[in-house]
Every structure is written in C-alpha cells, then in structure tokens.
Structure 1
C-alpha cells in the first residue's frame, strides 16, 4: 500500500503536465508594429486563438519597429527576438528598404538586402527556430504596375522568394496575394483604400486579409 499513494500522485501529476505553447514572433517594421494594436493583424490572430480554443497552443508576439529595414532587424535580432526564445519567427520586411530610396534618399541596395536577410535566416536557424518569410505587400495598390516602386518591390520580392527556396522555408507571398486581391476588388485602379490606408499601412480589410494569410502559415 505504501507504494500505491506515491504512484497515484505521480500519475495525477503527469496528467497535468504543462505543454508550452508555440511562441511565434512577428519580426518587422511599422506594419508589424501596428499589428499589435486594436484591429491589427496580430491582435486579430490572438482573437482567433480564443475563438478556436487554441490559446494554450500558440503565443503570438509582435516585434515591429517603424522605419526598420533589413539591417535594423539584423542589429536588434538578439534583444528583440532571440531573447524571447521563439519557436517560430515570421519575417516581414522590405517596404522601407525600397520606399526610403525615394522618400529619404536611403534604402537598401539589392545585394546588401540579400546578405543581411540571409544572415538573419542563418542566425535563427542556428537556434533551431522555424523561419517563415513574407514578401513586401505594396507601396501603392494600382494594378497596372504604375505605382512608383513597383519595379523595386517586384525585384526584392523575387529575392525573398529565392531565399525561401534556397533555405527550404515557408513563404507568405503577400506581394502576389495583394495584387490578386486588388485585381478583383479595385476596378478603379486606386492607389489606396482597398487593403491600405496610405498605400502601405493596412486598413481594417487589409489587417483581416493579412491575419488570415499568416494564420494559414503559422497554425498547423
């Protein structure tokens, strides 16, 4: 009998073993920074977790800072991402690397973009972190390729697609998905107001659209 009680206690404790939720960090710029605000795509995903009774299975964390480019992500990766011990990191960067060429006279040259992006991937993989890449969605929503930065955005998106293939990573092709959505829902060829408020940052529809695309890639 003296062995039965400890055995029962051990079995009871085993049945209540805590399973750590999968921590997903969304790593990016102001679009991601806004994602944790009310109505933001990360907030919407957190609400979806509650609706689907998955709050014990996943934890979503935003790590976005406005104005960031790919090298900013590389420089703050240790403190803002690795220190959180994530299981998954979703990288959503590229808009400022392109946009700032025209707006600030800065930006990131394509070869440097590749090198910094690859360095981020390698450092995350060295920690056995699952990495998911995103192409930059839009700097203007016109569908006839007349937005000023369409050429560069297409180029940088191709580079990200190539990195996803090179490292065998999942890809959320926001560039492709945004264009397809606008082709269907933007018959007047507007430069904003379909998925964005200002050609770049997401409106309510855009946040829901991105949340759904992110969800498909992250929740498995």
Structure 2
C-alpha cells in the first residue's frame, strides 16, 4: 500500500540527478519537474493515484555535495513544510575525490558526510514535528565493475547514507541494487552517457527503485473513495 496519505506534500532534494534541468521559475508543485526521476515519479503518482492529490516538489540543485545542500536546506526543504522528504546525495562527494584537484574543490570523507547528513535530519525532525516520513536514496553509478575506483568511493557514501537512514527510521532506497540488476542485461551507455547522470531510461530505473520502496501498486484499479 502506498505510504502517502491524501494531499501529502513530497519534497525531493539532492544534486543534478534530482534537479535534471527543473524549471526554477515554477511554483512549487506546479510544473517544471525536470527531465529526470522526479518527473517520472510525479507523472506515475498522478496517473495511478489521481484520488490522492499528491503534491510533488523538486528542490534538486545541480552540482551539490552534502555541504552545499546543507546551506540551502532552510529555503529548499524546511520552508516548504513537507509531509515527506526524499533525499539523494553523495555522488558528487565521491566524484570530488577524483576531479577535486582540477576544480580546486573541497573534498569530504564519508564520516564527515554522515555527520552533516545526520544533523540535517535531526534539524528537520525538530523543525517539522508533523513530518510523516523520510526517504533516503543511495547514490549510485551505472558501472558494473564493483572494483572500479569511483564506484568503490560511491559505495562508501552509500553505506553512510544507509546508516543515517537506519538511525532516523527512514525508508532506504538502494538505487545501486536496482541499477546493478539493470546492468545484468544492458550496457551502462543505454542508461547514462557518463555513468552518473541518467538519461530518461536511466531515470526510470531510479524511479522504479523509489516506487517499489513506497508501496506503489502497479496494478491499482480502484480509488480510495
């Protein structure tokens, strides 16, 4: 059964995978959800659960690591007073270990990442006492070789995300597991040009993992009147 009560407000926050070229001029929940998994989720929830009147808000921001996401948490999450939040962060924290010297960017370790992530969810629980649920999505790569250096680093941030989810009794969406299942039959190039940013097919893989985790009923035929 779908976990969201009628008229729930769901805010998605994260990096470019969530952002996916969303329209920043759009009213929250109105339009411009981007071309990624949030758009797929908005469409699926609206089409299959029209009686739920669910509000979807995309607060993703391209390029964010955990520190940058934390700086905008007030405006892009708390001020929106969500009933549920869904967070995907970590791939840029991993990526900066490889391109950070060229970009002269700050590099964060998984333990620091985990501490900041934990603090954000503590703050959210304190500021939003009516919050009904948190969904933590793992960072991922469309990379089948589990020994590849960046994939190993992404897995470290994924484990940190899972520990945070467990501490806060959040739903943990293991996106990497869904991606790995897909990669047993298809090459990464089918879903992502750079192994990180999904195309529309890759975004549907991500969306599928989220829908399975929140009780989406694919064969739903009756409304909850």
TM-score class normalised by the smaller sequence: 0.7 to 0.9
Alignment of 1:103-182 (within 5 A): 103-105=99-101, 106-126=106-126, 127-128=128-129, 129=131, 130-138=133-141, 141-182=142-183
Larger RCO, structure (CA 8 Å, separation 6 or more) = 2
CA RMSD of aligned residues (A): 2.1
Partner SS state of residue 198, structure 1: coil
Q: Tell me the distance in 2 between the aligned counterparts of 1:89 and 1:207.
A: 19
Partner SS state of residue 59, structure 2: strand
Do 1:74 and 1:119's aligned partners in 2 also have CA atoms closer than 8 Å? no
How many Å apart are 1:53 and its aligned residue? 4.3
- Which protein is bigger by CA-based radius of gyration? 1
Answering whether residue 11 of structure 2 is matched by residue 34 of structure 1, we say: no
Moved more, 149-158 or 210-219: 210-219
CA offsets per residue over residues 70-114 of structure 1, 9 Å max, x none? 111211111111111101111100001010121123331122101
Answering whether residue 61 of structure 2 is matched by residue 61 of structure 1, we say: no
Q: Between Structure 1 and Structure 2, how many residues are aligned?
A: 195
Do 2:16 and 2:60's aligned partners in 1 also have CA atoms closer than 8 Å? yes
Normalising by structure 1, report the TM-score: 0.80
Do 1:35 and 1:42's aligned partners in 2 also have CA atoms closer than 8 Å? no
The match for 2:7 is 21
Q: Tell me the distance in 2 between the aligned counterparts of 1:53 and 1:136.
A: 27
Partner SS state of residue 184, structure 2: helix
CA offsets per residue over residues 4-31 of structure 1, 9 Å max, x none? xxxxxxxxxxxxxxx9710111110011
How many Å apart are 1:55 and its aligned residue? 6.3
Q: Tell me the distance in 2 between the aligned counterparts of 1:131 and 1:110.
A: 20
Do 1:193 and 1:203's aligned partners in 2 also have CA atoms closer than 8 Å? no
Answering whether residue 202 of structure 2 is matched by residue 201 of structure 1, we say: no
How many Å apart are 1:218 and its aligned residue? 4.0
CA offsets per residue over residues 148-200 of structure 1, 9 Å max, x none? 312211111111112222222110011222122212323xxxxx413212211
Structure 1 residues 55, 96: closer, same or farther in 2, change over 3 A?
farther
Structure 1 residues 104, 124: closer, same or farther in 2, change over 3 A?
same
Partner SS state of residue 193, structure 1: helix
